[in-house]
Structure 1
Amino acid sequence: MNEPASLVVLPRLQVQNANAISGSICWGFPSPTAFVGFAHALERKFFSELREGFGGVGIICHQFHPQVCQSPGLRTHVFRLRRNPAGEDGNATALVEEGRAHMEISLVIAVKDHMPVRSGAYFAEDLLVTAQGMRVAGGSILPTRDGERFSAQWWPLANNPEGQAEAFRKLRRQLLPGFALVQREDLLAERLAEIRLQHPEGNALDALLDLCRLNIEPDRPSPDKPGERQWGVRKEPGWLVPLPVGYSALSPLYGPGKVRNARDGVTPFRFVEGLYSLGEWVGPHRMENVRQILWHSDTDPDNGIYRCINHYSTPFAID
């Protein structure tokens, strides 16, 4: 895999009404697939100017406001849904449950092409202008605010790991306050091994749910009475979240036009189900290398795997 030559930072993008339901078992911040897809769509718009293309995208969230409300007398929250027009009978028409959120994000896009500093700065500005007319996770990007901190940035990278690490140390300060979304399959594998010591039939879904839910157990140490046990919340390492990362095939790959009502008649088609992994929100100041923050697409059509991956746990595995 080619090393990135430069980084383009699209800072403090305000996104309105982004999709907050990206999986069947979780809701919240959009899936990494939405941002990898956004970077891919942006890359295609500059196809004539790029030879090597992009080499991944980093996702940093500064603010996240889900559009939910709490009904009077209830302890649960519900999404704020749009009101559909009344039907012919005067009753409200049926609607599909949709969750929306407003968020402020920064995207760090790795560029493999080498460019002079001045040309790179113009290229970064063009990327930001083009991004204004696109959607991120189904949400609309609001106009850029005035000020240098909201302008696109071009960060050249050195050809050696030490120079890249030095540039990233300067960049990560500008990404604060905020949290970067990374993948933690190592923690998922560790918890699965622990579960199978007591329950050999345990699977990866059991480990994922165990890490992401609120576990209240009766054998927690008492802070007031040493040696005694009490009910308490089991604390997990870090800010862990369930993460939809792609799709796995359920059917063979059908030829173009073989399946009715497909999106188009020229693209092969197959039925899929969602793939899940474990994610963590990490402060950029805790990272040492730019490769730890980047998400990449990873496909294996022969085995029916279409997913996004991040190398935070194994930052040197992509050399």
Structure 2
Amino acid sequence: MSKVKNLLVLPRLRVQNANAISSPMTWGFPSMSAFVGLMHALERKLLVAGINVALEKVGVICHDFEAQATEGGYIRGFHLTRNPVDKTGGTAAIVEEGRIHLDITLIFTIDTAAEESELIAEQIGEIVAGMRIAGGSVVPNHSVPNHKQRPQWVTLDDDEERRQKQFARLKRRWLPGFALTLRDDYLTEHHQTLQQQNPEASLLDAWLDLSRLNHHCALENEGQPNEKPVWQVQRPYRGWLVPIPVGYGAISDLFQPGEVTNARDAKTHFRFVESLYSMGEWVSPHRMKQPEDLLWYVDNDEEAGLYRLNNDYHLRASAQ
């Protein structure tokens, strides 16, 4: 049974020029850490505004996207800005930036109930309209009627049957769209499969193999006069799978505040990290059984040096 009590829904936000480069090795959609960062920044702004609510988890449903990149061919390039010339009159260096326009719905969980919840939802919607989402600007969405963009505070019923009906109504409003979920189970399972063929296969091999489409040539009507070769796409799992970053892993000891020269913050502990990767799956909201399926949350293990995000969709999906 779901433990979520309240959902704050910000539907059909139009975001222009969000960051499309999610990590050193992936691109195409902002990383979930960008949306968790938005949640933390929003929570701080709410405290300043006198709105005492705690945001714990965040989910993202993408309704439309438009990557600012060239179309066609095997090689694609980002649309880059032409910077002014430098002081010598020469061409200024270009820093590659990937941008994407998004039409998304954000879902936050709030454990505590509040009076005047609809008013609070409207206030939060106004605050988010003035914030950056993954580096992008929130602009009016003229492709959707205003009543479908109104922020919602949904208090889920304690009765399981009524709760399911409430969640079903929300899922219908989120269509058409896809929610990004975590599939750690696919990565682990595929790694074990590759190791049966090659004991030296690593998790990186499994991750790369799941990140691409493998074309295999087979013979049709083998041994017959009409024998011919055909190309087939080999996919170990069904679904829209994508490689995603899920956080950071430590590559150094934890340094005391001020111990590392030129650190951004001299009052906070410091540690060098690198990106952590896993597999994600875009899933239509109508396939979700409970809110936890699409929600992401912080799941750090400081002793192991892991600072990562988690999502519980794979727990239910793999059990089935």
Q: CA deviation at 1:161?
A: 3.9
Of stretches 142-151 and 35-44 in structure 1, the one that deviates more from structure 2 is 142-151
Match of 1:64 in 2: 65
Contact kept, 8 Å, 1:35 with 1:57, in 2: the verdict is yes
TM-score by length of 2: 0.90
Q: CA deviation at 1:166?
A: 2.3
Q: CA deviation at 1:311?
A: 0.4
Contact kept, 8 Å, 2:219 with 2:227, in 1: the verdict is no
Residues 11-54 of structure 1 show CA distances to partners (whole Å, capped at 9, x for unaligned) of 11011111111111111101111111111211222235336x12
Pair 1:44-2:41 in alignment: no
Match of 2:180 in 1: 181
Residue 234 of structure 2 aligns with an amino acid whose one-letter code is R
Distance 1:220 1:183, change over 3 A: farther
Q: CA deviation at 1:156?
A: 0.8
Match of 1:159 in 2: 158
Contact kept, 8 Å, 2:6 with 2:156, in 1: the verdict is yes
Match of 1:4 in 2: 4
Contact kept, 8 Å, 1:248 with 1:275, in 2: the verdict is yes
Contact kept, 8 Å, 1:58 with 1:109, in 2: the verdict is yes
Q: How many residues align?
A: 309
Contact kept, 8 Å, 2:183 with 2:280, in 1: the verdict is yes
Residue 257 of structure 1 aligns with an amino acid whose one-letter code is G
3-state secondary structure, aligned to 2:188: helix
Residues 263-303 of structure 1 show CA distances to partners (whole Å, capped at 9, x for unaligned) of 12111111000001100100000111111110001111111
Residues 165-214 of structure 1 show CA distances to partners (whole Å, capped at 9, x for unaligned) of 22111100000110011011111122111111101111211111111112
Distance 1:205 1:162, change over 3 A: farther
How is 1:262-301 mapped onto 2 (pairs within 5 angstroms)? 262-301=263-302
Match of 1:109 in 2: 108
Q: CA deviation at 1:220?
A: 7.5
Q: Distance in 1 between matches of 2:309 and 2:20?
A: 18
Q: Distance in 1 between matches of 2:159 and 2:22?
A: 38
Pair 1:98-2:100 in alignment: no
Distance 1:230 1:109, change over 3 A: same
Q: CA deviation at 1:62?
A: 0.6
Match of 1:29 in 2: 29
Residue 32 of structure 1 aligns with an amino acid whose one-letter code is M
The unaligned stretches of length 5 or more in structure 2 are none
Query: CA RMSD, aligned part only?
Result: 2.3
Q: Distance in 2 between matches of 1:221 and 1:210?
A: 25
Residue 254 of structure 1 aligns with an amino acid whose one-letter code is F
Contact kept, 8 Å, 1:165 with 1:290, in 2: the verdict is no
Contact kept, 8 Å, 1:60 with 1:106, in 2: the verdict is yes
Residue 34 of structure 2 aligns with an amino acid whose one-letter code is A
Distance 1:168 1:113, change over 3 A: same
Q: CA deviation at 1:4?
A: 2.7
Match of 2:205 in 1: 206
Q: Distance in 1 between matches of 2:300 and 2:131?
A: 25
Q: Distance in 1 between matches of 2:204 and 2:44?
A: 36
Percent of pairs with identical residues: 44
3-state secondary structure, aligned to 1:41: helix
Q: CA deviation at 1:75?
A: 4.3
Q: Distance in 1 between matches of 2:303 and 2:219?
A: 47
Of stretches 191-200 and 261-270 in structure 1, the one that deviates more from structure 2 is 261-270
Pair 1:123-2:112 in alignment: no
Contact kept, 8 Å, 2:4 with 2:109, in 1: the verdict is yes
Contact kept, 8 Å, 1:20 with 1:100, in 2: the verdict is yes
Q: CA deviation at 1:245?
A: 0.8
TM-score by length of 1: 0.90
3-state secondary structure, aligned to 1:46: helix
Residue 213 of structure 1 aligns with an amino acid whose one-letter code is R
Q: CA deviation at 1:221?
A: 6.4
The unaligned stretches of length 5 or more in structure 1 are none
Pair 1:13-2:10 in alignment: no
Q: CA deviation at 1:164?
A: 2.8
Contact kept, 8 Å, 2:257 with 2:268, in 1: the verdict is yes
